[in-house]
Amino acid sequence: MTPVFLEVKNISKSFASNAVLRDICFDIREGEVHALIGENGAGKSTLIKIIGGIYQPDSGEINIDGQVVHCANPIQAMERGVSIVHQELSLAQNLSVAENIFMRREIINKIGFIKWDVIRQRSREIFDQIGIEINPSDLVGTLSVGMQQVVEIAKAISLKARVILMDEPTSSLSEKEIDRLFTLIRELKKQKVSIVYVSHKISEVMEISDRVSVLRDGRLVFTKDARETSVQDIISAMVGREINNIYPARSKGVGEVVLQCKGLTRYGYFRDIDFEAHSGEILGFYGLIGAGRSEIARAVVGADKLTSGEIFIDGQKTVIKNPEEALKKGIAYLTEDRKQMGLFLDFSVAKNITSSTPSKFTNESGFIKSHNIAAVAEDVVRALTIKTDNLDTDVVFLSGGNQQKVLLGKWILPKPRVLIVDEPTRGVDVGAKALIHQKLRGLADEGMALVVISSEMPEIMGLSDRLAIFREGRLTEVLDNSKGQVSQNDIMERAVK
Amino acid sequence: MGVLTRRVSSQNLAVIALIAVLVLVMHTMFPLFLSPLNVESIAMAFIFEGIIALGMTFVIITGGIDLSVCSMLPFAEIICAKLMTQAGMPVWAAVVLTLLLGALVGAANGVMIKLLNIHPMIITMATMLILRGTNLAITNGKAIAGFSDGFLTLGQGKLFGINIPVIYFVVVAVILSLLLNNHKYFRQIYFIGNNEKAATLSGIDVVKVKIFFYMLCSVIAASAGILAASKYGAAHWVHGNGSEVKAISAVAIGGASLAGGSGRIGSTVIGIIFLAVINNAFVMSGMNTFWFDVVNGTMLIAAIMISYYATYRNEKRLLKVKYEKLLGSGE
C-alpha cells in the first residue's frame, strides 16, 4: 500500500456555538486522488481550510510524514507541502502568469529587481512538466477561468506541493475544461502529488478519485476505495440521518394556483424553470450549492433581471420589475441573508417590522405616525413570540432566532398572497425553529401560497407538500410529498446526478 | 527587459491619439502652439500636479487614495520657507527637514487608515483640513517671501535649457517607473490592490507596505511644494488648491482602476500630459478657462467608466461559460 503523507486525527471545530466538524479522522496517501463529499454545510470546506492552515482546529492534530505539525497560516502549510486551490481564485488579474506563480518567491538581482527571464523560464518548465500550454508573459486577466485555475495549480507545483487541496474545482469550468483538469490531475498523480478533491458532483468524483470520504453534519461517515463503493452508497451516506417527526401536519387542502412561472431563464444562472405555487400549500425548493434556487426567487420578485420567461398571477400574465412591485402584486421574498439584506440591524424591532409597509404608517404629507407603528409591531411581536426587552430595542441585540422572527413578521405584515422564504431557520435555535415551522404552516392554512427554500433536508421534507429539486440551474423534478412519502435518497439522487 | 515586453494598454493608446489630434488641430489653428515658449508653458503649467500624481499612482494601485496632498504642497512651502527665512537654516537642511515632515504626515495617514479601519478618503480628507488649518494659522493667511537666490534656482533655473522642475519630474518618473516595474517590494502593491485578503494570506505585510506608500506619496507632494515655493518666489496657503483632483484624474485617465490593482507611472505621465495640453488649448484658443474643470471632471468620469467596462467584460465572459454549461446539461 502507498504510504500515508498526511493524517488528520480527531479534529473538531466550532464557530461560535455551532459545531462544524466533530472528531474527524482522515488521511491522504501519496499520489492519490481523495474525494471529499457532502451536502451543503457538511464541513468539507472547513476541513480543507484547517488542513491548509487557514483555520486552526479547536482540538485534534495533523501529522505530516508521521510528525505532528501546527500550521498557523497558509504559508507554513505551503512550506510543508500543502497548497490550496480556492474556489474563488486569488490571482492578481493585471499581472503576468509568471509573476503570479512566483509571488513572494521572486527571483531577484542585487538591487531587488525581478529577473523576468528567469521566472518566465521556470514557469515555462512547470507548464511543460504538466503538459499545458500557457504563455508565462500573458496577463492572468486575459485567461479563461479554467486556465487561471491551471496557473494556481502551477503555483502549487512550483511550491513543491505534495498535496493540492481543490475546493469545488469544476464549479465554473466548461465541459472541455473539466476534461483538461482531469487529465492534469492524472498527470500530477503520476508525479506522486496527492489531490484532495472537494465536490458534491458524484459522477465526477467516481470518474477521478481513488478513495472517497463522505462528510455529514460535520462527521466523517466513511472512507472507502472508489472501486468498492457506488453512487447509491455515497448518496445514502450523504443523507442517512434520523428524521424526527416534529413537523406540523401537512396541508389541509390545496387551493387555486396563485403564482405560475413558465420557462424562467436568467443568463448564466438558471434555465427553463416551470413551477406553480398553490394557495394553502407549501412548495419546497431543494438543491445543492450552485443549483440556482435563491437566484430564481430573486428573479421572480424582480430583484434580478430575467432573460426570458413568463410569470402569471391568478392566471394573468404579469411583469415584475422590482421587489416593490412584487409586493404590490402580492409576492414577498424573505431573504436568506437576514443580516446583510433582510434587516436594518441598528434599527428598532418596531421599525424593522413596519419597514415593508411604510405607507400604512404615514399621514398624507409623508410624516410617520409613530403610535400606529407601536400598536402594529406589538401585535406581531406577540403573535410570533419575539423575545425582546421592548419595541425600541435595536434588532442587532436579538438572538438569531428572534431576528429571523422579526424578518418573518416584516414580510407577513403586508399580507402577501405568495411568500417565498429562503433558509428560514438558518442559525436559529430549536425552539424558534419549531415556532417558525408552525407559523409557516399556519400561513398556508390561512390560504397563502408558500415557497420554502432550504438546504436542510429534514426541514424541506418535513414542511413541503410538494418538492421541487434543482441541480445546476435546472429543475430536475417536482415530487409529490403530500403524505410525506419522499425519501432522502429520492431527493439526493435528483440533486446530484 | 520587462518594461519593453509588457504591452501599452489600449486606453493609453487612445489618450495618446487624443493628445496627438489635439496638438495637430491646435498647431494648424495656432502655429505658435508648438513654439518653444508655449511648450515650456505647457510643461510648467501642470508640473506640480504632475509630480504629485506620480506618488498618487502608488496609493491608488494599493486601492487607496490621498486627498491630503493638496494641502501638503503649501504646507511644505510654508515649513521650508519658515525654516530658511525665520530659523535661518541653510537650504539643504530646510529641504531635508521638510521632506521628513512630509514622511511623517504620510505615515500618520497610513497608520490611521489601518488602525482605525476607516476609508482612506475620510482620513486623508481630515488630514487635508488639519494641514490647511495649520497653514493658515502659522502664516495668518499671508505669503512668506524673501528666499535666497540659491533656493530660487530650484524652481526658476534651467539646465540645458530645460526648467529644473521638469527635469526633476522626468528623473523621478523614470526612477519610480523602473522600481514599480521591476522591484520586488514595489510589485507587492499590485497584489494588495487586486485582493488584499489573498495578499495577506500569501504573507505580504499589507499594513507596512501601505504605510510606506502613503509616506512616499506625501514625501513626493512635499517635494513638489518645495519646488513650488521656489518657482513662485513665495509660500502661500492657497497654492496647490485642487491639485489632488487633477492628480487623481491624471492617474485615472492613464488607465488605473480607482478600485486598485492596476496603474503605471508611464500611464500617469500620459494622463498628466493630456490634462496639460487640454488646459493650454483652452488658454490658446481664448476660451473661458473656467470651463477647463468641466472637461477635467468629464474625463475623470469617462476614465472610470472605461475601467468599469473592463470588469463588466470579465463578468460577462464568466457568465458565458456558465450558460454554455446550462445548455449542455439540458440536452
pLDDT band at B3 (very low <50, low <70, confident <90, very high): very low
pTM comes to: 0.82
Does the CB of B194 have a partner CB in chain A at under 8 Å? yes
Map out the domains of chain A as residue ranges: 4-239, 257-496
Give dist(CA A264, CA A273) in Å, integer: 5
Strands A282-287 and A466-471: parallel
Does the CB of B326 have a partner CB in chain A at under 8 Å? yes
Across the interface, of A91, A108, A173, the residue whose CB is closest to B184 is A108
B304: domain CATH number is 1.10.3470
Instruction: Yes or no: say if A477 and A494 are a contact pair by the CB < 8 Å rule.
Output: yes
Identify all chain B residues contacting A471, using CB atoms and an 8 Å cutoff. 329
pLDDT higher than threshold 80 for residue A244:
no
Verify whether the Cβ–Cβ distance A73 to B325 is below 8 Å: no
The A-side interface with B (CB below 8 A) comprises 54, 73-75, 90-96, 99, 103-104, 106, 108, 111-114, 116-117, 137, 141, 144-145, 172-175, 177, 267-272, 471-474
Verify whether the Cβ–Cβ distance A172 to B322 is below 8 Å: yes
Number of H helices, E strands in chain A: 16, 20
Segment (H or E) for A308: strand A308-313
The reply to whether domains A4-239 and A257-496 share a CATH topology is: yes
Domain of residue B187, residue span: 7-330
Question: Which of A287-301, B10-24, B248-262, B302-316 is the least confident region?
Answer: B302-316
Instruction: Yes or no: say if A212 and A38 are a contact pair by the CB < 8 Å rule.
Output: no
Across the interface, of A92, A114, A269, the residue whose CB is closest to B191 is A92
Across the interface, of B178, B184, B321, the residue whose CB is closest to A174 is B321
In a domain, B1, yes or no: no
Verify whether the Cβ–Cβ distance B202 to A267 is below 8 Å: no
Verify whether the Cβ–Cβ distance A268 to B326 is below 8 Å: yes
pLDDT band at A493 (very low <50, low <70, confident <90, very high): confident
pLDDT band at A243 (very low <50, low <70, confident <90, very high): low
Q: Strand runs (DSSP E) across A112-218, as ranges?
A: 163-167, 194-199, 211-216
CA angle A216, A218, A223 (to 5 degrees): 60
In a domain, B2, yes or no: no
Q: What is the ipTM of this complex?
A: 0.83
- Check if CATH label 3.40.50.300 holds for domain A4-239: yes
Nearest to A385 by CA among A336, A443, A433: A433
Q: Rounded to a whole number, what is the distance in Å from the CA of A81 to chain B's nearest CA? A: 15
Nearest to A199 by CA among A30, A33, A77: A33
A43 sits in the region (left: phi over 0; alpha: psi -120 to 50; else beta) called left
**What is the average per-residue pLDDT within A139-154?**
87
| pLDDT at residue number A74 | 85
In a domain, B93, yes or no: yes
Across the interface, of A92, A269, A471, the residue whose CB is closest to B194 is A92
Does the CB of B255 have a partner CB in chain A at under 8 Å? no
Verify whether the Cβ–Cβ distance A268 to B194 is below 8 Å: no
Verify whether the Cβ–Cβ distance A93 to B185 is below 8 Å: no
| pLDDT at residue number B327 | 64
Can you tell me which residue has the cell 404552516? Answer: A441
Domain count, chain B: 1
Query: How does pLDDT run across B182-239, given as a tens digit for each residue?
Result: 999 999 999 999 888 888 888 889 999 999 999 999 999 999 999 999 999 999 999 9
Superfamily of domain A257-496: P-loop containing nucleotide triphosphate hydrolases (3.40.50.300)
Query: How does pLDDT run across B176-197, given as a tens digit for each residue?
Result: 999 999 999 999 999 999 888 8
Query: How does pLDDT run across A43-70, given as a tens digit for each residue?
Result: 888 899 999 988 899 999 999 988 898 8
Query: How does pLDDT run across A288-301, given as a tens digit for each residue?
Result: 877 889 999 999 99
In a domain, B157, yes or no: yes
3-state helix, strand, coil in chain A (%, to 5): 35, 25, 35
Instruction: Yes or no: say if A64 and A81 are a contact pair by the CB < 8 Å rule.
Output: yes
| pLDDT at residue number B8 | 63
| pLDDT at residue number B152 | 93
Query: How does pLDDT run across A165-192, given as a tens digit for each residue?
Result: 998 888 777 778 888 889 999 999 998 9
